[in-house]
């Protein structure tokens, strides 16, 4: 169960939204299923917009009566200090970061795989959650807050959920404690999951959470026409550059070359010791108005827990000599401008050498003790950086490689007090990272290289499973299977966004089998042999079934087609989508294109046989020629029996008998097929 908290000041607006149709007409049958005693006694059951306004007045009544409608002001100190760092005067920064927050709103959502709960169960969950948060049944005797739970159907993703609307002001005028409500809500959700038998989130149980993208960030990306939010774009770039550079100074230079703005955070009382950093993307214009949208600064910890400066100094393997630290300090202090061009030059590392380095890296990770969480976290960070570098150079928008990088980054998260200062072994990984980051060649997306990267990920998943984190490992395996299957499908020319068949031997089925072979480390030769045999059978079924009227026609990639076959995901679809999806000339593909020429004669022969059978089965009322046979009949006989039909013995004609005139071309077309007599009766083939 996932809690999501939002604070505001418009109780009536919140409840009208919950009782209304929703932004996309997704709300169905809104009902109040739980709440405080007064709210349930008056408003329990179905609710509409009118009753929602009345319920809002009831929930807000303590503030209106006891506090005489005074606002409940709260200051977002993080926002205030960020504005001060950008040059905003202190008073203005704090005024802008302070607002009325008398409404507390929390959505409790289930995973779509958990199905739906009845209203009685949701009511029990809501009451238990509010008690764990300390808003009801308080141990200090404070009166319960005014609150109500609304259930109105499923989310867009198909998950069951409820909304809790609460007034921060208690009936006696005191304020409910909402400080640190996010970690408290996670702890309360853990209790509820265990008590009611709900699915326990692996990220909450073992760590590995990711900074969520806020709705305002997503809205800004849509306004400027970006395919990803600034947080997502910065996360990919910082991670990829960290694994590709050999020093902190080079890291700073390369990020600036990639168009990222940086600013250091110095230790208190120092102008040389850098202890943190913030990054932002260049400002962009609103596509509709043309006005500049304000860029957002993100600290490393707000990108990912393993992207703080101290964490990267541990896992990136940067040089830590005094000279390197001096160079890094000087680079941090330079003017915060970006410049074009690339500062990283790829090493002379071929694809074959890169695959060998990845194999050695996977072998090295298997020697790490299972209880050495620090070493495993650093290894996961480095492997995640390689996936991020491959994503940056082969995916125009975040795709399957980016999803794999994010999964590994969750496994790399470790509390700061558990990290050790010494870096992990990974000199060879830097060379691979350089090759992936500094080039845009198709080799960077080759399936063989992706498979080698995936093998490193499988090693990390196996260590997590053996180290007591089986739930998290299983969740990572699920995401890895989905991402790798998409990669193999796109490499085979399949557009995953279009319907496609997955039957035995089809290209999509083959992509799934290759993914299974990677994750289970099966014998590739055996798997490829089985795939080739199954695909050959599938091709034959497509050829022989073409004559059936109920046969589902598909193109070379398994996409259903109508009368006019459509081209597969060859260029525009794959290039616009993400991933090493662009079909590569050196990547093994399962398509029917290579077999089309060989299968065409059989297909044409099947079509001729079908037409012949139709002609043989129809009853032609028109007269035939006197000789009872024709050239077409002989050709049809040849097709079915392989030898010409036995000719009848010639009959002797008297000189006085007139010979039969030679039939015209028109009469040839009207002769009956073989096996049909001139009087429309059925006859037997001559054998």
Quick: pLDDT tens for 121-144.
Answer: 999 999 999 999 999 988 888 899
Close Cβ partners of 41 (under 8 Å, ≥ 6 residues apart): none
Identify the top-confidence range among 108-117, 444-453, 587-596: 108-117
Question: What pLDDT is attached to residue 612?
Answer: 73
Mean pLDDT of 457-463: 91
Cβ atoms of 495 and 559 closer than 8 Å: yes
| CB-based contact 280:220 (threshold 8 Å) | no
pLDDT at 407: 87
**Residue 273: band (very low, low, confident or very high) from pLDDT cuts 50, 70, 90:** confident
Given 442, 462, 482, the domain boundary residue is 462
* pLDDT on residue 199: 79
Nearest-10 Cα torsion for 17, 20, 25, 29: 120
pLDDT at 31 over 90: yes
Inside any domain, residue 407: yes
Q: What is the pLDDT of residue 468?
A: 80
**Do residue 82 and residue 26 come from a single domain?**
yes
Give just the sign of the alpha carbon dihedral 660, 665, 666, 671.
positive
Q: Which residues contact 74 (CB under 8 A, 6 or more apart)?
A: 7, 98, 99, 100, 101
Shared-domain flag, residues 347 and 441: yes
For residue 274, CA distances in Å to 84, 262, 310, 418 come to 19, 12, 10, 21
Round to whole Å and give the CA distance between 390 and 407.
15
- Mean per-residue pLDDT for 612-638? 53
pLDDT for 424: 61
In a domain, 653, yes or no: no
Same domain flag for 162 and 269: no
For residue range 526-558, list pLDDT tens digits in order. 988 899 889 888 888 888 777 777 777 888 888
Distances, alpha carbon 655 to alpha carbons 135, 232, 651, 658, 659, in Å:
121, 100, 12, 8, 9
Residues 17 and 149 in one domain: yes
C-alpha 224/C-alpha 291 separation (Å) is: 10
The CATH number that applies at residue 163 is: 3.30.930
pLDDT score for 84: 84
**Do the beta carbons of residue 598 and residue 618 sit within 8 Å?**
no
Q: pTM (2 decimals)?
A: 0.59
Give the integer Cα–Cα distance in Å for 185 and 4: 9
Confirm whether 161 is domain-assigned: yes
Query: What pLDDT, in 10s, does the model give residues 298-334?
Result: 998 889 888 889 888 888 878 888 888 889 888 888 7
Q: Decide if 169 is inside a domain.
A: yes
Instruction: Give the per-residue pLDDT at 590.
Output: 39
| Mean pLDDT, the chain, integer | 79
Query: CA–CA separation, 5 vs 178, rounded Å?
Result: 11
Q: pLDDT per residue over 467-482, tens digit each?
A: 888 888 888 898 899 9
Q: Tokens representing 18?
A: 């919950």
The more confident residue out of 582 and 291 is: 291
**DSSP H or E segment with residue 77:** helix 77-85
Task: Find the helix or strand (DSSP H, E) in which 256 lies.
Answer: helix 248-257
Could you tell me which residues are beta bridge partners of residue 266?
274
Whether residue 230 sits in one domain with residue 158: no
Number of domains comprising the chain: 3
Determine the pLDDT at residue 61.
94
- What is the C-alpha separation between 329 and 332, in angstroms, rounded? 5
Q: So what's the pLDDT on residue 616? A: 66
* 44 falls within a domain: yes
Q: Is residue 243 part of a domain?
A: yes
Tens digits of residue pLDDT in 358-409: 888 888 888 888 888 888 888 888 899 889 988 887 887 888 988 999 888 8
My answer on whether 387 and 420 are in the same domain is yes
Share of the chain above pLDDT 90, in %: 24
Same-domain check for residues 154 and 25: yes
Asked if residue 128 and residue 181 are part of one domain, the reply reads: yes
| 176 and 253 part of one domain | no
pLDDT at residue 682, as a whole number: 45
Supply the pLDDT for residue 5. Answer: 92
The verdict on residue 250 lying in a domain is: yes
Instruction: Give the relative orientation of helices 400-411 and 447-466 as an angle to the nearest 10 degrees.
Output: 30
| Residue 664 clears pLDDT 60, i.e. is over it | no
200's tokens: 């326990």
Comparing 576 with 613, the larger pLDDT belongs to 613
**Which of 356, 359, 479, 355 lies closest to 407 in space, CA to CA?**
479
d(CA 434, CA 438) in angstroms, rounded, equals 6
> Does the structure show a pLDDT above 70 at 83?
yes
Task: Assess whether pLDDT exceeds 70 at residue 109.
Answer: yes
- To which residue do tokens 């850098």 refer? 274
254 and 148 inside one domain? no
The residue range of the domain holding 458 is: 224-462
- Average pLDDT (623-650) is 47
CB-neighbour burial class of residue 527 (10 A; exposed 0-12, middle 13-18, buried 19+)? middle
Distance of alpha carbon 276 from its chain centroid, rounded? 31
pLDDT given at position 37: 92
Tell which phi-psi region holds residue 676, choosing left (phi > 0), alpha (psi between -120 and 50) or beta.
Answer: beta
Q: Is residue 313 domain-resident? A: yes
Task: Dig out the tokens for 629 from the structure.
Answer: 């046979």
Could you give the 3-state DSSP secondary structure of residue 100? strand
Last residue of a domain, one of 462, 481, 501: 462
With a cut of 50, say whether residue 580 has pLDDT above it.
no
Q: Which is it for the CA torsion 203, 208, 214, 217, positive or negative?
A: negative
Phi-psi region for residue 613, left (φ > 0), alpha (ψ -120 to 50) or beta? alpha
Is pLDDT at 238 greater than 90 in this prediction? yes
- In which band, very low, low, confident or very high, does the pLDDT at 623 lie, cut at 50, 70 and 90? very low
**Burial degree of 328 (CB within 10 A; 0-12, 13-18, 19+):** buried
Which helix (H) or strand (E) segment holds residue 8: the answer is strand 2-8
Instruction: Determine the 3-state secondary structure of 660 from DSSP.
Output: coil
Q: Are residues 183 and 301 in the same domain?
A: no
Under DSSP, the state recorded for 98 is E
Domain boundary among 462, 491, 518: 462
| 264 and 157 in a common domain | no
Distance between CA atoms of residues 2 and 190, nearest Å:
10
Among 146-150, 172-176, 339-343, name the one with the lowest average pLDDT: 339-343
């Amino acid at each position: 169960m996932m809690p999501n908290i939002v604070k505001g000041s418009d109780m009536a607006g919140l409840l009208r939204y919950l009782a209304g149709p929703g932004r996309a007409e997704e709300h169905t049958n809104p009902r109040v299923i739980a709440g405080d005693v007064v709210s349930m006694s008056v408003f329990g059951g179905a609710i509409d917009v009118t009753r929602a306004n009345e319920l809002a007045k009831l929930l807000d009544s303590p503030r209106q009566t006891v506090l005489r409608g005074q606002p409940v002001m709260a200051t977002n100190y993080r926002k205030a200090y960020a504005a001060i760092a950008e040059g905003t005067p202190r008073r203005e920064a704090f005024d802008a970061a302070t607002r009325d927050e008398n409404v507390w709103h929390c959505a409790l959502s289930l995973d779509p795989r958990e199905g739906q709960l009845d209203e009685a169960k949701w009511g029990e969950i809501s009451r238990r959650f509010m008690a764990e948060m300390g808003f009801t049944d308080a141990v200090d005797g404070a009166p319960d807050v005014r609150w109500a739970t609304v259930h109105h159907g499923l989310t867009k993703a198909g998950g069951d959920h409820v909304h809790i609307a609460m007034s921060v002001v208690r009936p006696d005028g005191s304020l409910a404690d909402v400080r640190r409500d996010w970690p408290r809500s996670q702890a309360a959700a853990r209790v509820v999951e265990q008590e009611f038998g709900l699915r326990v989130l692996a990220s909450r149980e073992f760590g590995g959470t990711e900074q969520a993208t806020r709705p305002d960030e997503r809205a800004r990306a849509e306004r400027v026409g970006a395919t990803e939010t600034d947080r997502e774009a910065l996360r990919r770039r910082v991670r990829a550059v960290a694994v590709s550079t050999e020093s902190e100074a080079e890291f700073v230079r390369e990020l600036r070359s990639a168009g990222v703005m940086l600013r250091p955070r110095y230790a208190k009382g120092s102008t040389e010791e850098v202890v943190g950093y913030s990054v932002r993307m260049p400002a962009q214009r609103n596509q509709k108005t043309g006005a500049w949208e304000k860029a957002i600064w993100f600290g490393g910890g707000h990108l990912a827990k393993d992207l703080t400066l101290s964490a990267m100094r541990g896992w990136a393997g940067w040089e830590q000599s005094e000279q390197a630290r001096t160079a890094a300090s000087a680079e941090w202090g330079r003017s915060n401008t970006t410049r074009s061009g690339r500062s990283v030059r790829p090493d002379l590392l071929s694809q074959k050498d890169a695959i060998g380095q990845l194999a050695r890296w996977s072998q090295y990770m298997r020697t790490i003790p299972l209880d050495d969480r620090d070493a495993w976290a650093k290894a996961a960070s480095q492997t995640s950086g390689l996936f991020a570098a491959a994503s940056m150079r082969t995916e125009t928008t975040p795709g399957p490689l980016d999803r794999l990088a994010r999964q590994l980054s969750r496994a790399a998260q470790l509390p700061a007090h558990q990290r050790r200062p010494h870096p992990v072994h990974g000199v060879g990984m830097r060379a691979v990272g350089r090759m992936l980051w500094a080039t845009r060649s198709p080799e960077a997306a080759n399936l063989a290289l992706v498979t080698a990267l995936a093998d490193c990920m499988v090693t990390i998943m196996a260590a997590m499973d053996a180290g007591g984190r089986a739930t998290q490992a299983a969740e990572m395996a699920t995401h890895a299977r989905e991402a790798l299957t998409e990669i193999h499908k796109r490499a085979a020319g399949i557009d995953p966004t279009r319907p496609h068949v997955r039957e035995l031997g089809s290209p999509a089925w083959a992509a799934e089998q290759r993914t299974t072979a990677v994750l289970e480390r099966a014998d590739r030769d055996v798997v490829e042999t089985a795939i080739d045999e199954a695909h050959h059978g599938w091709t034959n079924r497509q050829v022989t079934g073409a004559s059936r009227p109920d046969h589902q026609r598909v193109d070379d990639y398994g996409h259903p087609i109508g009368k006019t076959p459509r081209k597969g995901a060859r260029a525009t679809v794959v290039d616009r989508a993400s991933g090493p999806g662009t079909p590569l000339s050196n990547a093994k593909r399962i398509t029917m294109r290579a077999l089309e020429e060989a299968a065409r004669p059989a297909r044409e022969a099947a079509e001729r046989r079908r037409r012949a059978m139709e002609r043989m089965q129809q009853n032609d009322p028109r007269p035939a020629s006197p000789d009872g046979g024709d050239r077409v009949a002989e050709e049809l006989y040849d097709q079915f029996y392989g030898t010409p039909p036995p000719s009848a013995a010639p009959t002797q004609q008297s000189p006085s008998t007139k010979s039969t005139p030679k039939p015209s071309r028109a009469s040839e077309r009207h002769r009956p097929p073989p096996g049909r007599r001139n009087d429309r009766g059925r006859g037997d083939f001559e054998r």
